[in-house]
Homo-oligomer: A and B are copies of this chain.
Amino acid sequence: MTVISRLAAAARSVLLALCLGLPMMVGGLSPAAGQGAGQAADPLPSWTEGPTKAALLDFVKAVTEPGRPTFVDPADRIATFDQDGTLWVEKPVYSEVSFAASRLRAMAETNPALKDEEPFKTAISGDEEAMGRMPFEDLKKIILLALRGVSVDQYRMEVVQWLETARNPRLGRLRRELVYQPMREVLDYLRGNGFRTYIVTGGGQDFVRAYSQRLYGVPPEQVVGTADAVKFGYDAAGRPVLTLEPSLLLEDIFGGKPEGIHLVIGKRPLIAFGNSTGDRQMLEYAKAGAGARLSLLVLHDDARREVAYGPALGLPASEVGTFTQALHDEAKARGWFVISMKSDWKRVFSFEPMP
């Protein structure tokens, strides 16, 4: 046991004792506990002052201040976040596709025929710009072939290892550094106010669970994703094992997002974040509930600090993370907030200095 884990264990037992002694004060304490000492400190320092930041702060007040008609019990404070393009960079292609391509490269050593068959040929070549131009169905083929027959434990371990060193070729950074700092602040801010934060991703559930706690503070059970079919069986030693199958149980995109939310959570989110047409139905579903609700879309309009794509507002079109003009129009009509990376975020990544 390291010093840190011993300290953490000691802290846990002290807190457990404290907490058990204070059950009646819990409701009033939790927001303060979440924000530490500085009640007055800005919980969203990377956000520019303006209507979007104000809407976030007002929304949290509306659902957490006791006595407000819009107050919501902590048990029902559910926030959902798309991942790719909403919490971290999705260009030139989804990280999961890049990981799958690395697995296919290894598979091609014993099965060279893969190198001659598209879309695997391009994946094995490692050309992520080309993968980013593929239709979605080709990306699915790459992902499903790469995970076939792997145990869920082995898969998770490989993703963890891969993410240690995997780099984004376009931005020249480790992928795990490419989390949007303003969104990390929102995750912390909501959790500090009694929300449970869920990731609801078109990406693979097992893929995202491998790092969700580390990168976002979101535990595996709060990741709703596109779910590969998993088969229960026994290994050679007779031990139970769960193995990934090359088919999908749930496609967690478009209408599949509210369906996946119902399957795993069974509660309608109060606040939802997305960035593309795949998130539309989730945002409609969240906003259509009673009481205070907030739906928000990240717009990638900052070519200098990240990548600019749409095609909404005349931004370059994109196969990955499409944000159409129709989605923009719907956002305006329904009172969703469109987050401009360029003007709403003082910094995009944690490694940028605060201006």
Is B10 a contact of A66 with CB atoms below 8 Å? Answer: yes
Is A220 a contact of B15 with CB atoms below 8 Å? Answer: no
Please measure, in the bound complex, the distance between the C-alpha atom of A8 and the C-alpha atom of B265, giving whole angstroms.
24
Is A11 a contact of B9 with CB atoms below 8 Å? Answer: no
- Which residue of chain B has the shortest Cβ distance to A223 in the bound complex? B266
Please measure, in the bound complex, the distance between the C-alpha atom of A282 and the C-alpha atom of B317, giving whole angstroms.
47
Chain B residues near A75: list those with CB within 8 A.
Answer: 20, 23-24, 219
Q: At the interface, yes or no: A33 with Cβ under 8 Å from chain B?
A: yes
Is A11 a contact of B13 with CB atoms below 8 Å? Answer: no
Q: At the interface, yes or no: A12 with Cβ under 8 Å from chain B?
A: yes
Is B12 a contact of A74 with CB atoms below 8 Å? Answer: yes
Known contacts A240-B288, A259-B231, A281-B232: A266-B15 contact under CB 8 Å:
no
Nearest Cβ in chain B — how far from A324, in angstroms?
Answer: 19
Is B10 a contact of A230 with CB atoms below 8 Å? Answer: no
Please measure, in the bound complex, the distance between the C-alpha atom of A322 and the C-alpha atom of B14, giving whole angstroms.
38
What is the 8 Å Cβ interface bit string for chain A, positions 230-249, against chain B (1 contact, 0 not)? 11110000011010000001
Chain B residues near A74: list those with CB within 8 A.
Answer: 12, 20, 23
Q: At the interface, yes or no: A129 with Cβ under 8 Å from chain B?
A: no
Q: Which of A71, A152, A250, A266 has the most CB of B within 10 A?
A: A266
Is B9 a contact of A71 with CB atoms below 8 Å? Answer: yes
Chain B residues near A15: list those with CB within 8 A.
Answer: 11, 14-15, 18-19, 33
Contact of A255 among B217, B223, B232 (CB under 8 A): B232
Q: At the interface, yes or no: A191 with Cβ under 8 Å from chain B?
A: yes
Is A27 a contact of B36 with CB atoms below 8 Å? Answer: no
Is B205 a contact of A266 with CB atoms below 8 Å? Answer: yes
What is the 8 Å Cβ interface bit string for chain A, positions 7-39, against chain B (1 contact, 0 not)? 111111111101110111111011001101000
Is A285 a contact of B240 with CB atoms below 8 Å? Answer: yes
Chain B residues near A267: list those with CB within 8 A.
Answer: 220-221
- Which residue of chain B has the shortest Cβ distance to A78 in the bound complex? B221
- Which residue of chain B has the shortest Cβ distance to A75 in the bound complex? B219
Please measure, in the bound complex, the distance between the C-alpha atom of A249 and the C-alpha atom of B250, giving whole angstroms.
8
Chain B residues near A18: list those with CB within 8 A.
Answer: 15-16, 19
Please measure, in the bound complex, the distance between the C-alpha atom of A255 and the C-alpha atom of B264, giving whole angstroms.
19
Chain B residues near A227: list those with CB within 8 A.
Answer: 263
Please measure, in the bound complex, the distance between the C-alpha atom of A217 and the C-alpha atom of B219, giving whole angstroms.
22
Q: At the interface, yes or no: A105 with Cβ under 8 Å from chain B?
A: no
Chain B residues near A231: list those with CB within 8 A.
Answer: 255, 259
22 pairs, CB–CB < 8 Å, chain A vs chain B:
A7-B8, A7-B11, A8-B11, A9-B66, A12-B14, A12-B192, A15-B33, A16-B192, A19-B26, A20-B75, A23-B27, A23-B75, A24-B26, A24-B75, A206-B266, A220-B265, A220-B267, A221-B265, A230-B262, A232-B256, A232-B258, A242-B262
Additional 8 contacts, C-beta under 8 A, given A20-B30, A242-B258: A9-B67, A10-B11, A12-B66, A16-B34, A22-B23, A221-B264, A242-B262, A249-B249
8 closest Cβ contacts across the A-B interface? A232-B255, A220-B266, A19-B26, A18-B19, A22-B23, A240-B285, A11-B11, A15-B15
